[in-house]
Structures are given as C-alpha cells and as structure tokens.
C-alpha cells in the first residue's frame, strides 16, 4: 500500500499505468521518445525543455535520429505511449519505477521550500512559522491527489492556511507549471513547497529574487519520500536500447550536467535518496 501511494504521488513525472507489452527495441537509427508538448521546464513541442535538450544529446551520442510522439502527461500517459508501441523512451522517470527499465539517475532532486530571498529561511516542516504563513503546495491530477508535502503538513495540523496548485496546470497556458512559483513572487503565498526542477526554473524568470531550500525526508514519516533519482525509462524487453542509453549518459555526463545547470535544476547528493 505504501509503495503504491509513493508511485501515485510522483505521477506528475510519470503516470504509472504501464502494462507490459512485448515490443522490439527501437528501430535502428531512430530514438523514439514520448513527451508532453507543453510541459516546461521538462518538454515542449518546440524543443525548449531541458528533457528535450538531454534527449538530443543522447540521440547524438547514439548516432540516432530523434523522433517524438507527443501527448499531454495525464493519467494513462504510459498506456497510450510506450505501452502502445508509439515510442521506446520516456525521459525523466523516477529511478525506482518498476514498470520500466530505468537507467542510473542522470540527476537527483527534491522538493524545496520556495520563498522570497529576504524572508527568514524555512528548513523543516517543524518550523513554527508554517502554522502562520500561507503555504502553496502542488496537487496531482484533476482529482487533486496529495503530494508528500501535503501529507507532512497535514500530519502537523497545517491545513487551513494551505493553497493547492494542480501539477498539470492550465494546458492553454505557455507555462502551465508556473502558478505555484508565481504565487510566491507576487505575494499570494508566503512559501511554496515545490518539486525542485519546477521551482528552480521558474524562480529564475520571476521579477523578484527567490530562494530554494531542499526538503529532505521527514523522520516522523519516512514513507513520504521527498527526494528522487531521475532516469531514462525503456521497456524491460529493450535491453540493447537500455545499454546504449546508459553508455550515452556516461559519455555525455558533463554536457547533461550543463543543461541541468542552465535550467536551474537543484540537485542533491545520492546519499539523500534510497534508489535501486
């Protein structure tokens, strides 16, 4: 039950409805990737997301042509994409995701406390200020499932001063994931608890300086994971492709790290995460 909850809590990055279907490895010379066409900072149809840039690096290293199948990342994404044979690769999946063969992580990140730079820094859920401040949090899907930070706040009775922002956001917006960050910049909330890559990217584009403080595991609720390794995912049957991707990640690590830095992705040490 706990493992099932943890998977659901991270479905903003990978909607976990994959069912195993045998399919050959990617066609020779083509790296077929499934991605969301409007999901900055991760992916966008014009290729401006950091996962787009990393996919380009991997395809180049493998000597392959990069080809996309575009579909919004909603419930059923995996079922309709890689499981349906429309692609062979999904970028940015949790390393511990069992329904895909996942590479070693190419980055590790965490939720962060996002605040205006001139405010007293919040470092833990036990900071007394959280009972008084207005807090922004991310919720998952149309039914608003709680993310791990929401559960940690709720266990401390911090409920009435919490404002939810859907992870999927407004698909008509050019920046559907930005509202939870915008809310801190414009003063609608005092602090947001946001997945690091979203916070880091949009904080760079706000008109006021913001700061990010990593949220690591809450010792009172260790099942609620706050940090994740992020990998490239393929089908379990596509081991040749998996090996090629793994080698490409190793060979082009410096370039990939540079892309992550350019997009403001906050990274944490491996010791902060339990991963395969």
- HSE, CB side, 13 Å, CA atoms: give it for residue 186: 9
Q: Where are the beta strands (DSSP E) in 95-161?
A: 101-102, 107-116, 135-140, 145-146
Greater pLDDT, 130 or 225 = 130
Return the CATH number at 179.
3.40.190.10
pLDDT higher than threshold 90 for residue 48: yes
- For residue 71, pLDDT over 50 is answered with yes
Is residue 87 domain-shared with residue 127, that is, in the same domain? Answer: no
Same domain as 94, residue 12: yes
Angle at the Cα of 130 (from 129 to 136), degrees rounded to 5?
135
* pLDDT at site 140: 83
Q: What is the mean pLDDT of residues 150-170?
A: 92
- At residue 65, does pLDDT exceed 60? yes
Angstrom distance (rounded) from CA 179 to CA 147: 16
pLDDT of amino acid 170: 78
Q: Does residue 47 sit in the same domain as residue 127? A: no
pLDDT for res 141: 62
Report yes or no on 75 lying in a domain. Answer: yes
Same domain, 44 and 27: yes
Please report which confidence band the pLDDT of residue 169 belongs to, taking 50, 70 and 90 as the band edges. Answer: confident
- Domain annotation covers residue 221: no
Kindly report whether the global pTM for this prediction surpasses the value 0.85.
yes
Tens digits of residue pLDDT in 22-42? 333 445 689 999 999 999 999
The number of domains in the chain is 2
∠ at Cα 221 (106, 219), nearest 5°? 80
C-beta of residue 173 within 8 angstroms of C-beta of residue 36: no
Give the model's confidence band at 143: pLDDT under 50 very low, under 70 low, under 90 confident, else very high. Answer: low
Angle at 244 between CA 250 and CA 26, to 5 degrees: 145
């Amino acid at each position: 039950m706990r493992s099932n909850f943890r998977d659901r809590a991270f479905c903003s990055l990978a909607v976990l409805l994959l069912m195993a279907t045998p399919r050959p490895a990617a066609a020779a010379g083509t790296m077929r990737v499934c991605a969301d066409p409007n999901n900055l900072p991760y992916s966008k149809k014009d290729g401006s997301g950091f996962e787009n840039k990393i996919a380009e690096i991997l395809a180049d290293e493998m000597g392959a042509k990069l080809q996309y199948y575009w579909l919004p990342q909603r419930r059923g994404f995996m079922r309709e994409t890689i499981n349906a044979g429309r692609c062979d690769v999904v970028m940015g999946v949790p390393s511990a995701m069992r329904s895909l063969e996942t590479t070693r992580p190419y980055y590790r990140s965490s939720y962060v406390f996002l605040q205006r730079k001139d405010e007293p820094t919040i470092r833990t859920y036990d900071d007394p200020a959280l009972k008084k401040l207005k807090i922004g949090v991310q919720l998952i899907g149309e039914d608003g499932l709680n993310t791990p930070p929401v559960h940690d706040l709720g266990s401390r009775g911090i409920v009435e001063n919490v404002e939810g922002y859907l992870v999927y956001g407004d698909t008509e917006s050019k920046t559907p994931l930005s509202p939870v960050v915008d809310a801190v910049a414009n003063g609608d909330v005092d602090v947001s608890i946001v997945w690091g890559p979203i916070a880091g990217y949009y904080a760079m584009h706000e008109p006021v300086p913001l700061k990010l403080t990593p949220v690591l595991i809450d010792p009172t609720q260790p099942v609620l994971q706050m940090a994740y390794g992020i990998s490239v995912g393929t089908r379990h049957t596509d081991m040749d492709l998996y090996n090629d991707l793994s080698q490409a990640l190793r060979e082009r690590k410096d370039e990939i790290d540079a892309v992550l830095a350019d997009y403001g992705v906050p990274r944490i040490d491996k010791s902060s995460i339990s991963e395969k």
